[in-house]
Amino acid sequence: MTTDETPVRRRRGASMADVARLAGVSGQTVSRVANGRRNVDEATRDRVLAAMREVGYRPNSAARALRNGQFRSIGVIAFELSSFGNTRTLDAIAAAATSSGYAVNLIPVLHGTPHDLSGAFDRLGEQAVDGVIILIEAHRLDEADVQMPEGMPVVVIDSNADLDYPVVDTDQAQGSRLATEHLLDLGHRTVWHLGGPEDSYAASRRLRSWRQTLIDHGCPVPPVLTGDWSAGSGYAAGRKLAADPDVTAVFAANDQMALGLLRALHEAGRAVPEDVSVVGFDDMEEAAQFWPPLTTIRQFFPEVARRSVDALIEGIRTGEHHHQPVAVGTELVVRASTAPPRR
Amino acid sequence: MTTDETPVRRRRGASMADVARLAGVSGQTVSRVANGRRNVDEATRDRVLAAMREVGYRPNSAARALRNGQFRSIGVIAFELSSFGNTRTLDAIAAAATSSGYAVNLIPVLHGTPHDLSGAFDRLGEQAVDGVIILIEAHRLDEADVQMPEGMPVVVIDSNADLDYPVVDTDQAQGSRLATEHLLDLGHRTVWHLGGPEDSYAASRRLRSWRQTLIDHGCPVPPVLTGDWSAGSGYAAGRKLAADPDVTAVFAANDQMALGLLRALHEAGRAVPEDVSVVGFDDMEEAAQFWPPLTTIRQFFPEVARRSVDALIEGIRTGEHHHQPVAVGTELVVRASTAPPRR
DNA sequence: AGCCTCCATGTTTACGTCAACATTTCTGGC
DNA sequence: GCCAGAAATGTTGACGTAAACATGGAGGCT
């Protein structure tokens, strides 16, 4: 597997020893300056700083990591970023990690089969990371017969609280309830649901909460249509919904599917929101520019990311983790795609 | 800056020495097995492999990096991933890098101000990376007074060939020409342009090529509207375009702005494509589900990423780089948003 | 037999950093 | 002016790995 003889080229930057020689001090003093220790004489510090600048000194993170047993880096395991939510979350994780002084290692899972997933975890053991955030539907972890390197702190962003790892996620149930109740409050007799893939916990949470909300309000529970998060699948499902004159309100499990749904409704000549009201989930940036602008449930990705990173760093520092799942609330954003039903 | 005394917890995994002891060989033999060298006796290798499994040995990448002077990791410097293109590119870079045995370090630039940018590059010197792919509009690099750590291989994904670094990018000019000619071929008298931000090279390339194409075909060149890539800015510009009855064909510099444009046209009661034809750029996944489905220019992000990663690894290996810019072609995808003009 | 070669394996060492401990220099009190 | 104690600075060694070099034994050739 690793048999190729790579022609290696050493990058040879200035080391502490070089700086020390130039500044006429010991390497240890350079180390102290580099780490902002205060027990260094002002004049000495300046001399060292000048020397650093002169030789273009950069700390060698490999040596530092070896010495300290820490990389100050966290790994993020994710499928293709194509999904809007994952992208936003990753972005926010990177920001949060950076502000906490951690680097981010992106560990892609190339094809999503259990085999590839295991591959990602195998590689993980060799990755220069102190901990891992998993951005993958948890059920796939089971499938993949995954073995985390022993002692590797982990945080999972997912709604499955059964896991053996700390879990952070958007409060899917609350968001789903907000969406459904918004439509009921407008006077719709009931709300149809265009759900995400069955094997997604996020999707099943949204579905379950939608159903429960209908039951709580004494509304009939229509059959569920299922998509795969993509706009294309939303369109396919939308064609069926558009053909049914009973449908006056639909809650799509994400904005992308809602987009496809809108297209299907337009195509069928059903006006939104006059004939059919539509609510999405995510509040992706484009949702405000859909036609019509989409009422949706806003997720707070930065908050999810912040909490995940903090929990992970806590785990890295202390070696323990809180199994208390964290749920981040959502917010209803009302736009033009919802209105009372036509009488 | 780095004065906090962090309570450090060592992660202590099995090392080569542990494996060696258990297998009754020297550390060097373990190293040979770990690296797939073939000059190890079959029986010995098996013994070592068994010992590795028993103690759960994982190579320590810090030690390896220190020893070899290489991290087998590349950095990707990017602004917020919000832009669709960057996300796709990052995703593809991660895939390409992984398949080449390199890890990916995501280095976010938090706010996009010159100050933050310098921060990213300062940190860069300490990052555990062998090279860097820059996913930032190149002109910002100038603004930021950026100093790459000496000898750090760099590849820039951008259309500015004036840079001192190897450049890889989509062939903006070719794509722009495709879009414009498609509309002219349909019989439109001329094509309006909704451009990206002025300080973006990609945007200015698309704009220049659009203008040149019109000139080549002897068409009048209408005034340019300028957005900031966002769907919202597309909407704002779209309101102006929608108010002008002369406008029958618009080429938007990306799909997101095209989405906002479509909304503005709908709102103004101008039918697409009957009254106005619209072409976008990118072919984001949702474009096929816009209303109407959007004719657009498809970019091949995986190709761009592959080329970038290859060029970077080449630079890492050899220490030299080819200044030959790489331009990846595009493809016209015709959908329902374009049609001949109404006569 | 004597010698040379090839191959598996072992030993030493350096990569750059920083904790721990050792030493030197300064400060102030009497 | 002397000494205790604090502050600044130096020395040593270890983190885990792998290249370079060293060793030793098996087999082939004359």
DSSP A33-90: HHTT-S-S-HHHHHHHHHHHHHHT----HHHHHHHHT---EEEEEES-TTSHHHHHHH
Q: How far is CA B70 from the centre of its chain?
A: 24
Whether residue A280 lies within 8 A of chain B, CB to CB, comes out as no
Distance, C-alpha B186 to centroid of its chain = 32
Name every chain B residue with its beta carbon within 8 A of the beta carbon of A92: none
Q: How far apart are CA B213 and CA B190, in angstroms?
A: 10
Pull the structure tokens for residue A300: 């707070």
Q: What is the dihedral of CA A286, A287, A293, A299, to 10 degrees?
A: -140
Three-state secondary-structure class, residue B248: coil
Protein-proximal nucleotides of chain D (any atom < 7 Å from a CB):
7-12, 14-20
Question: Which of B122, B217, B191, B172 lies closest to B326, judged by CA?
Answer: B172
Instruction: Please report, as a single letter, which amino acid is at residue A275.
Output: D
Instruction: Calculate the average pLDDT of chain B.
Output: 88
Least confident of A238-252, B136-150, B235-249: B136-150
Q: Does the structure show a pLDDT above 50 at B71?
A: yes
Is the pLDDT confidence value at B81 over 70? no
CA distance B260 to chain A (A): 5
**pLDDT tens for residues B265-287?**
999 999 999 999 999 999 999 99
CB B210 within 8 A of CB B193: yes
User: Which residues in chain B have their CB less than 8 angstroms from residue A290's CB?
Assistant: 259, 263
pLDDT tens per residue, range B225-238: 999 999 999 999 99
CA B159, CA B202: separation in Å to the nearest integer? 6
- H/E stretch holding A105: strand A103-108
Distance between CA atoms of residues B112 and B77, nearest Å: 11
Strand B326-328 versus strand B167-170 pairing type: parallel
Residues of A in contact with B58 (CB under 8 A): 125-126, 149
| Contact predicate A51/A24, CB 8 Å | no
Q: Strands, DSSP E only, in A135-216? A: 154-157, 167-170, 192-195
- Among residues 186-225 of chain B, which lie with CB inside 8 Å of chain A? none
DSSP state, residue B199:
T
Which H or E run includes A312?
Answer: helix A301-318
SS3 for A192? strand
Q: Which of residues 250-269 of B touch A (CB under 8 A)?
A: 256, 259-260, 262-263, 266-267
**pLDDT bracket for residue B147 (50, 70, 90):** low
Indicate yes or no: CB of B126 within 8 angstroms of CB of A2.
no
CB of A66 lies under 7 Å from some atom of strand C: yes
CA terminus-to-terminus distance, chain B: 68
Cβ-contact B73, A127 below 8 angstroms: no
pLDDT of residue B109: 78
Distance from CA of A201 to the nearest CA of B (A): 23
For residue B13, name the pLDDT band (cuts at 50, 70, 90). Answer: confident
Task: Give dist(CA B162, CA A315) in Å, integer.
Answer: 46
Does residue A66 lie within 7 Å of nucleic acid chain D, judged by its CB? yes
Per-residue model confidence (pLDDT) at position B316: 92
Closest C-alpha among B59, B128, B107, B37 to residue A11 = B128
- Report residue A306: phi and psi, to 5°: -55, -50
Q: Quickly give B69 CA vs C9 C1' distance in Å.
A: 26
State whether residue B87 sits within 8 Å of chain A by CB.
yes
Provide the b/e sequence for B114-138 (b: ≥16 CB within 10 Å).
eebbbbbbeebbebbbbbbbbbbbb
Do A317 and B6 form a contact (C-beta atoms < 8 A)?
Answer: yes
Residues paired with residue B77 on neighbouring β-strands, in sequence order: B107, B134
For the cut 60, the answer to whether the pLDDT of residue B7 exceeds it is no
CA atoms within 13 A on the CB side of A324: 5
* Mean pLDDT to the nearest integer, B175-186: 98
Cβ(A52)–Cβ(A19) below 8 Å: yes
Return the C-alpha torsion angle A180, A181, A182, A185, nearest 10: 130
Please report how the helices B42-55 and B16-23 are oriented relative to each other, as an axis angle in degrees rounded to 10.
120
The mean pLDDT values, 10 residues at a time, for chain A of 343 residues are 38 83 93 90 93 91 93 88 81 92 88 62 77 80 65 84 83 97 98 93 94 98 96 98 97 97 98 98 96 97 96 89 86 98 86
